[in-house]
Structure 1
Amino acid sequence: MHREQVGGCYMKIGRYQDAVDIEQPLLETSKIVLGKEHPNTLTRIQNLAVTLREMGKFNEALSLEQPLLETSKRVLGEEHPNTLARIQNLAVTFMQMGRFNEALSLEQPLLETSKRVFGEEHPLTLARIQNLAGTLWEMGRFNETLTLEQHLLDTSKRVWGEEHPNTLIVIQNQAVKFIEIGRFNEALSLEQPLLETSKRVLGEEHPNTLTRMQNLAEIFRHMGRFNEALSLEQPLLETSRRVLGEEHPNTLNRIQNLSVTLMEIGRFNDALSLDQPLLEKSKRVLGEEHPNTLARIQNLAEIFKRMGRFNEALSLEQPLLETSTRVLGEEHPNTLARIQNLAVTLIEMGKFNAALSLQQPLYETSKRVLGKEHPNTLMGIQNLAEIFRHLGRFNEALALEQPLLETSKRVLGEEHPNTLARIQNLAVIFWEMGRFDETLSLEQSLLQTSKRVLGEEHPITMNRIQNLAVTLIEMGRFNEALSLQQPLLEKSKSVLGEEHPNTLSRIQNLAELFKRMGRLNEALSLEQPLLETSRRVLGQEHPHTLTRTHNLAITFRNIGQLNEALNLQQPLLNMSKMILGEDHPQTLEMIQALAMTLWHLKREDDALKLEQTLPEGLRNFLGKQIPSPTPLPTSIASDLPKEQDWEIIPVEYVE
């Protein structure tokens, strides 16, 4: 086999360094033997640049592609097919670097040239429509993208036929777009028949068929149909290992995707057992600074966050941000996303001012780089409002949240998952402000929409039932709350499982309701086994376990079992200081609760001494009733890679 072909094969199976080891000396030989401007030499420069790009070495790729394009224009001509291909390749590099405007400035005139030189229905022209659509999508210009892709799909069916591989790719791309804008039923209606067609036309183990199986699993995961996602992803991973190899980039992606599904169903240890060795393999196979390796560091941090291991998450995210800034640049979309993720971790740790110091400049950068209405900018506004809420700056949160919701409706659509999440977040702010009637009116209509759009058993719909119940509790409408919470708990057990983190939270919420209703023994009968389960499933040091220990202690105190309360609270406070920190809001609440127990035990001096360790605004509570509001869930941003079947950019190889 020709060395050129061997290099191409290595590139296709993800052995990028092996490809470079062939391509670099081949290029040097070509320059000497054929000359620096010989067409084959130019093609070899392009091949090396594409391989470097796949390795995440964008600046090295760019340093080859920009002068290559100028040489190609001069030697071959501005409209030679290879020159046009190099414009496209340069645009792809810009796009992957997050330099979307530069990509667009190349792709729009390229498409017009391609139409004129090749014709409107030539395969290369159609591929360039797809590439332009991809860039517009990354810029958040969804309507333009969907218009282009629908035209492309209609043309592809007419020119190539309904079952041509290129037509199948166009269908796939449209399905991926529907996933990203939350139109899951439409995505499903495309993906399921597409997978069957792909199996029949290309074969059950063709790489594109395997990718479509992954994308179908992705849809199921977004729809909350986790068991169906799992039933696809587990055999898919085995097939991928056998067909593509253990270290192929797509196999690594599928390990990651399976890990995400396991994380969503609360199987954190199983997810961790995949993610930790995956990260090591990714470092070895792709390199420590490859974009996919960086994404896997973020994903591992996300698992740690779900497990309540925030310090471990932070120890990954802080150096990750430094690396991302250095490798991708300060304003690359992935770098901005990692600032966001770090801010979310700080929020979870109760470090709200530190989060604010990241979030405010991030918002300004995002507006400038991505645009005021880009989905990532909107997420930044949401998280900034979330920080203000935690800081008790409710009016500032509201001033962000209300116009954000209107923008989200207009840009993303009234029923987009993020729009629905923003309705919930606005309701939470109203709740914090004591404006329960406004909260209720939002949550009731939101729940109906959620049932219709996502389904009655989707995890997010179940969260919204819980939120509505919490609002009813605060309004003193306990029986109505109970009529929601009891069937919700049963549904959560059957859909998610008896030990899923969300199910455990619902047991706690039901216990809290019983306490509000004065049914303390029923609360106790839930909280004691819940704490044991939480210790076993989540771990002794998980924040939810700490919260449940605290809640059980309060119940003991309320029924007069003061020593039992004290036996829980003293070690709990030490653990909370160690895990969450001395100034974390939950730690401060635990100090208050312990002081109150000591006060009831007539140990007034100990209670007063403990009270003095609190910030001044939290003192002078002894002998008074302290309300303990039930926390509502917050939204977070994540940086999880998705496997997408985009149109493959033509790569030139010399036969």
Structure 2
Amino acid sequence: MRGRGTGASRTEPPWGITMVDDRTELPFRTAQALVLAVCSPNIRADLRSELAECTSRPPTSTGLKRLQGELLSIFAVLERPNAALDIRTQAYLVRRWIEEQRRSRTDTPDFRDDLSQLAQTVERVARRASSPGIDDPFWLSPGYSGSADFNMGRSHFAAAAPELPAAEGTENSESLVSALRSVLLPNLILEGGLTSARSVRPPSVPGWEAITWQPEELKRLVEPPLELLPAKLHGRDSLLRRLEKALVGPSGGAPVIRFLTGSAGVGKSSVALALARTARTRGLNVWWVHGAADLINPGMLAVAASLGIDRTELAAARAGRQSLPDLIWKHLEQAGDRWLLVFDNVDDRTMLDRLLSRDSSGGAWIRPSGRGMTLVTTRQQEITARNVETELIRPLDDHDAVQMLRSLDLGGGDVGATSRLTQYLYNIPLALKLTGRQLTSVFAGVSHADYLSTLLASPMSAEPTDGDEPLRPLICILRRWQGSDETVHLPRLLTILAHFASGIPLSPTVLDASALSELGVLNPTQAADHVRQALSVLSSLGLIDLKSVDVDHGQSDQPSILLHPMISAACRESLHHASVAEQKLVRTAAAATLRRALEAQFQAPVFDWRLWFMLAPHIGSLITNLPPESPPEAISSALSAARQAMEYLARTGAYQTAEELGRAAMRLGQELPKEDDVFLEAAAAFAGVLIFREKLGDAQLLLTTVLAARQRKAGLDDALTLDTLELLAAVLRGLGKPSEAEQCLRQVIEGRCRAGNKYSAATVRAMIGLAQVLREQSRLGETESTIRSAISMHSGSDDRSAAITVGPKIDLAMVLKDTGRFEEALELLHGVIATGTKLLGPTDSQTLAARSALGATLCSMGRFDEANEILQRTRQAGEKALGESHPTTLATITALGGALRAVGRFEEAEQALIRACKNSSRVLGQAHSETINLQIGLAAVKYDTGRLSDAEVSIRQLLRTHDATLDLAHPTRLALRHFLAVLLHRAGSLEEAESLYRTVLDRREWSLGPNHPSTLGVQANIGALLHGRGALNEAMQTLEQTKAGYLAIFTSEHPCLLAVKNNIAGVLVEMGRVGEARRVYEEVLLVQERTLGHSHPDTLITYGNLAAAFHAGGQDARAVALLRRVIREYDRRLPRAHPCLLLARYHLASIYEQKGSAAAALQKYRAVLNVQAECLGEGHPDTVATRLSISRLLERVGRGQESENEYRSALWQAMHQPLPPHGSRP
């Protein structure tokens, strides 16, 4: 059997095993099958399957059973990934098995008959030897002897101790250079960004820079409004005593949720407030959460902020990646102090059921607890949940109702008239409160009897209501104002407020006097402070409540506004009966005033978080409360407000809330014409939210529709059309379609230039986006010129120009790094950091991004200690200022993981990446590109530490997750497949690895072109694989082609080019052209020592390979000296079980073995074995391989029994010991 490798310098493989047999060919056939199995994993797997079938039938001889067991044990060794199982050891395994045949024949006379079964089995498999792609390193030939020592045959190990050549530079012994293949370490090229930030850039929205969320400001949202508590609660004393008793905790049995149920206005919230006041005086924590559907999330986030929950966990909850109920309840159950949590006005039946349910959507919001009391107020009186106690609050009895009204208005006349009035008002405390306020203000001096007559005369008194009956008297009270010119603005203002969220503080900036005058709500002649006076009147009437707002430990001179849900509902119900003109005026004013308040907030020089939290919750309520028949002006203003809020919510990380608001806005916008500008702007903003959510297919469909509408209406060069096209480019980029994204961005830039906006910030932004797309296609020359052009457009000396160029200069520095111009990149980044620190602040996201880029650049230069120090500080600053889940922080951790890996601090790298993966998964999602970056980095740590199986499992899981959602040529999908091929390559699964490599190569040649660095990286690895299976000519041709491709785009000092040259030298060594190989290694080292340093991992790999070349050339002294130097560096930087360090030690031992220094070789082999056994485990593939090498050496020096013991131990461990568990390596 001849080898089918294509190396030109040999005609047959170097490791010969000659079978000498004058009686039968059976041993030859079985040995031939084993040799084939050694050479081909696929044949090995087939033969293993066939043997399993044979062994299921009881053999007639113990010899055959022993031989089959031996063969399966050898397969167990061969099938496990390892680095140290060299050709000599593989040949040793084959020879030992052949000798086992001889022993079986000697020990078992009936063995010959049984062996025929095994021969038939292996013959079937042997026929597959002609399968293409098998390049075996052995040759096996039958021979004949006239005086056979053994009847069954005997084996001869033809290359047990090859002779070294006498002079260097001559053609070397093929057996030696083939043996060196196991210690020549090829540079397998991973994706360029796997060890640095932003290997796969997440999709972004142009102009939507991230804003650091400030959850501390949320705490005010859940402060109980104790100032709204009436001086006396009539008729509720016994109920309050029962509730106050329960505050101390359950007296026995399971904890319960307490419900206060009853119709609107009966005082459920007042009872809850009274209990909250008592709880506060007893030192309990108290939180007050409004139960409206669109306010639960902000309220519960405020509770989380008050509990001091980690900001990363909060960010995950805001993004919808973690269950907010589970998060909060975990911390509530762990709270040291008792607490009271009130859910107020949970009146919607569907909402109440959802808050109580424990389904797969994330768990219940409302739960019982032994650590505190959960109290719910609701109009719903049928509560079906378990572990609840319900208190039904009824209207006051006649006596208490009369007492309450007369306490509010002492001059109302006789008690009988008061009783009739209270009965008309259903004895409802809210109606009694409003009536008492009116009787002491606008109706001062009117008796209770006359007031009742006025209400009964109202047309509304006889009209049915769609809601609760108690709304009728409230509506009558509200309509009582109408008809008076002096008070007409009061019901209008109140009805405007009714369109916002009731029970949640509303910023007074919404009711701007000039805006209300302009809209026709107020007379233009009325003073600017008229609104304040009107609010005071409404408050005195009990229709609204004014709540003071803390500002820097003081009180604001503009209190926030609160409206009772029942009054809000009554106002909207009353509006339905108003004139069409009045409805149009009020609804338009409600939407317009909120929109203007938001615009003022966003245009302010300093963003006011307190004000934002008094505006944001009301936008969703406005969208909900506007009926479809609202005037187009009102819908347009509401959509405009929603558009601004969507953008801001997304920029602060509240992706889920932003998406929910966007979907509600799109439903409301269906009433507008499809080409309405405001609707199209809102739709584009919603598409931006979908981009953040990485729902890129939905975003593309929506943007395509918006773009078509804008082109029809305004043409391609319209500013809004170009903005939409720029957004579409961001989507195409995220979908892995850089050429299409490039085309869109070029159209955007050309259009803005034609419109005279060449130097606008939007044009510069599009140019930076174009540069990033070009960089992803590795068109680095164009990338650099594009960025420099963009920077030149802001070349002014003022601070604003300098601040604007911070981001583009970071991108430029990364291009310089990519092209190997490290010093230029460093100089630029130092300047950027200085500018960012001065103008933006040391913890600004762009300043920290520049520091992260500096660390990544230093890492690429081999200055790992500096890189680690900078990246550690940047990570700490980012976690503190931006949060652990901020994209800049996560990108820094990705870069830090690469820097830690480079110096062998694998445990630190792994822990940092695991933590970052969890944060990114929770906040951004499993499918987000930043999460994938981190997961790839984590797999790379496993790859570095020899845990190839673990790494393979991780990458395959990522592929299963993303294959169905990503295009065949998507960069992320191809990067994962390429990494999987590298893992299979390292593990020795060459056929599967090559198939995967070539699939990725085809896709990249089609999508990126043949000379793209990502394409060339795959091609380089294919060359290394071809070398590994002995196809030397083909390997050399592939590597030379790759080298030429790299030279066309990179400088001669680029690390990828140096890696390919290193691999070319390895092929030269095995071809026997040792002198040429050594010169290439030395040429590579000259560059690496100057640019990367003597201790860089790539430099050390080249040193180790040069040592192999010295050994192959007969310069063992130089080889040993160089290996010792490599080992010293590895010892200083790497843990003692690092694969590179162990391989270098193994290489040194093998040189001593071939020099004939058996004692020294054995000592060094055992030193390697001891570390492997302790740190990797006895059953680890590398441990098994080293033990077999020791067995082989012991046999050569005549220590047969020790050799046999080591051999049997290795096979037993391979058969019975699993790979070490995840994380077991240092």
TM superposition shift of 1:574: 1.5
1:231 match: 743
Report Cα offsets for 1:6-55 as digits up to 9, x if no partner: xxxxxxxxxxxxxxxxxxxxxxxxxxxxxxxxx9xxxxxxxxxxxxxxxx
Query: Residues 624, 262 of structure 1: CA spacing in aligned structure 2 closer, same or farther, 3 A cutoff?
Result: farther
Q: Distance in 2 between matches of 1:179 and 1:383?
A: 25
Q: Distance in 2 between matches of 1:288 and 1:587?
A: 44
Aligned partner of residue 592 in structure 1, secondary structure: helix
Of 611, 615, 637, which aligns to 1:106? Answer: 611
TM-score (norm 2): 0.42
Q: Distance in 1 between matches of 2:694 and 2:1072?
A: 50
Aligned partner of residue 865 in structure 2, secondary structure: helix
Larger radius of gyration: 2
Output the aligned Cα RMSD: 3.3
Q: Distance in 2 between matches of 1:517 and 1:617?
A: 30
2:159 match: none
Give the AA of the match of 1:177: V
1:134 match: 647
Query: Residues 391, 88 of structure 1: CA spacing in aligned structure 2 closer, same or farther, 3 A cutoff?
Result: farther
| Matched residues, number | 545
Query: Residues 134, 624 of structure 1: CA spacing in aligned structure 2 closer, same or farther, 3 A cutoff?
Result: farther
Contact 1:360 1:384 in 2 (8 A): yes
2:692 match: 180
Give the AA of the match of 2:1112: H
Query: Residues 593, 305 of structure 1: CA spacing in aligned structure 2 closer, same or farther, 3 A cutoff?
Result: same
Q: Distance in 2 between matches of 1:107 and 1:161?
A: 31
Query: Residues 504, 426 of structure 1: CA spacing in aligned structure 2 closer, same or farther, 3 A cutoff?
Result: same
Contact 2:646 2:686 in 1 (8 A): no
Report Cα offsets for 1:602-637 as digits up to 9, x if no partner: 3455556656765724487564579xxxxxxxxxxx
1:192 match: 704
TM superposition shift of 1:464: 1.1
Q: Distance in 1 between matches of 2:595 and 2:1003?
A: 57
2:781 match: 269
Give the AA of the match of 2:909: A
Aligned partner of residue 648 in structure 2, secondary structure: helix
1:478 match: 990
Answering whether residue 910 of structure 2 is matched by residue 405 of structure 1, we say no
Report Cα offsets for 1:423-481 as digits up to 9, x if no partner: 33332222223222222222223223332222111122111111111111222211111
Give the AA of the match of 1:481: A
Q: Distance in 1 between matches of 2:917 and 2:800?
A: 39
| Equivalent runs, 1:211-222 vs 2, <5 Å | 211-222=723-734
Of 514, 525, 535, which aligns to 2:1047? Answer: 535
Q: Distance in 1 between matches of 2:1069 and 2:1057?
A: 18
Query: Residues 460, 322 of structure 1: CA spacing in aligned structure 2 closer, same or farther, 3 A cutoff?
Result: same
TM superposition shift of 1:561: 0.8
1:153 match: 666
Aligned partner of residue 282 in structure 1, secondary structure: coil
Of 510, 515, 519, which aligns to 2:1031? Answer: 519
Give the AA of the match of 1:341: A
Aligned partner of residue 614 in structure 2, secondary structure: helix
Give the AA of the match of 1:424: I
Contact 1:247 1:285 in 2 (8 A): no
Of 824, 835, 841, which aligns to 1:323? Answer: 835
Of 276, 280, 291, which aligns to 2:792? Answer: 280
Answering whether residue 1079 of structure 2 is matched by residue 567 of structure 1, we say yes
Give the AA of the match of 2:665: L
Answering whether residue 935 of structure 2 is matched by residue 423 of structure 1, we say yes
Contact 2:639 2:679 in 1 (8 A): no
Give the AA of the match of 1:108: F
Report Cα offsets for 1:309-347 as digits up to 9, x if no partner: 222222211221111011001122222222222222222
Query: Residues 238, 126 of structure 1: CA spacing in aligned structure 2 closer, same or farther, 3 A cutoff?
Result: closer
Higher mean alpha-carbon deviation, 440-449 vs 208-217, is at 440-449
TM superposition shift of 1:418: 2.6
Answering whether residue 866 of structure 2 is matched by residue 361 of structure 1, we say no
Q: Distance in 2 between matches of 1:514 and 1:115?
A: 62
With CA pairs under 8 Å and 6+ residues apart, which has the higher RCO, 1 or 2? 2
Contact 2:902 2:1097 in 1 (8 A): no
Q: Distance in 1 between matches of 2:1148 and 2:879?
A: 50
Contact 1:115 1:125 in 2 (8 A): no
Aligned partner of residue 991 in structure 2, secondary structure: helix
Aligned partner of residue 824 in structure 2, secondary structure: helix
2:769 match: 257
Q: Distance in 2 between matches of 1:552 and 1:339?
A: 36
Contact 2:884 2:919 in 1 (8 A): no
Give the AA of the match of 1:601: G
TM superposition shift of 1:391: 2.8
Of 485, 489, 505, which aligns to 2:1001? Answer: 489
Higher mean alpha-carbon deviation, 425-434 vs 188-197, is at 425-434
Q: Distance in 1 between matches of 2:622 and 2:995?
A: 68
Q: Distance in 2 between matches of 1:139 and 1:164?
A: 28
Contact 1:91 1:104 in 2 (8 A): no
Aligned partner of residue 254 in structure 1, secondary structure: helix
Contact 1:136 1:144 in 2 (8 A): yes
Query: Residues 113, 399 of structure 1: CA spacing in aligned structure 2 closer, same or farther, 3 A cutoff?
Result: closer
Contact 2:848 2:878 in 1 (8 A): yes
Give the AA of the match of 1:150: R
Give the AA of the match of 1:475: A
Q: Distance in 1 between matches of 2:1079 and 2:834?
A: 44
Q: Distance in 2 between matches of 1:370 and 1:236?
A: 32
Report Cα offsets for 1:369-389 as digits up to 9, x if no partner: 223444444444444434333
Give the AA of the match of 1:419: T
Give the AA of the match of 1:189: L
Of 958, 962, 966, which aligns to 1:446? Answer: 958
Q: Distance in 2 between matches of 1:625 and 1:208?
A: 70
Query: Residues 229, 383 of structure 1: CA spacing in aligned structure 2 closer, same or farther, 3 A cutoff?
Result: same
Give the AA of the match of 2:717: E
Contact 1:205 1:239 in 2 (8 A): yes
1:30 match: none
Higher mean alpha-carbon deviation, 295-304 vs 616-625, is at 616-625
The structure 1 segments of at least 4 consecutive aligned residues displaced by more than 6 Å after TM superposition are 79-84, 112-120, 285-288
Q: Distance in 1 between matches of 2:833 and 2:936?
A: 30
Give the AA of the match of 1:208: L
Contact 1:94 1:103 in 2 (8 A): no
Contact 2:639 2:682 in 1 (8 A): no
2:509 match: none
Higher mean alpha-carbon deviation, 529-538 vs 401-410, is at 401-410
Q: Distance in 1 between matches of 2:773 and 2:1076?
A: 39
Query: Residues 305, 178 of structure 1: CA spacing in aligned structure 2 closer, same or farther, 3 A cutoff?
Result: farther
Contact 2:598 2:641 in 1 (8 A): no
Contact 1:245 1:251 in 2 (8 A): yes
1:334 match: 846
Higher mean alpha-carbon deviation, 179-188 vs 318-327, is at 179-188
Query: Residues 230, 289 of structure 1: CA spacing in aligned structure 2 closer, same or farther, 3 A cutoff?
Result: closer
Give identity over the alignment, percent.
24
Query: Residues 480, 625 of structure 1: CA spacing in aligned structure 2 closer, same or farther, 3 A cutoff?
Result: farther
| Equivalent runs, 1:374-393 vs 2, <5 Å | 374-393=886-905
TM superposition shift of 1:86: 8.0
Query: Residues 450, 625 of structure 1: CA spacing in aligned structure 2 closer, same or farther, 3 A cutoff?
Result: farther
Higher mean alpha-carbon deviation, 149-158 vs 272-281, is at 149-158
In proportion to residue count, which structure has more helix?
1
Contact 2:620 2:661 in 1 (8 A): no
For structure 1, the 5+ residue unaligned runs are 1-38, 40-72, 96-101, 627-655
Aligned partner of residue 862 in structure 2, secondary structure: coil
| Equivalent runs, 1:43-82 vs 2, <5 Å | none
Give the AA of the match of 2:777: I
Q: Distance in 2 between matches of 1:458 and 1:405?
A: 22
Q: Distance in 2 between matches of 1:117 and 1:147?
A: 14
Give the AA of the match of 2:963: K
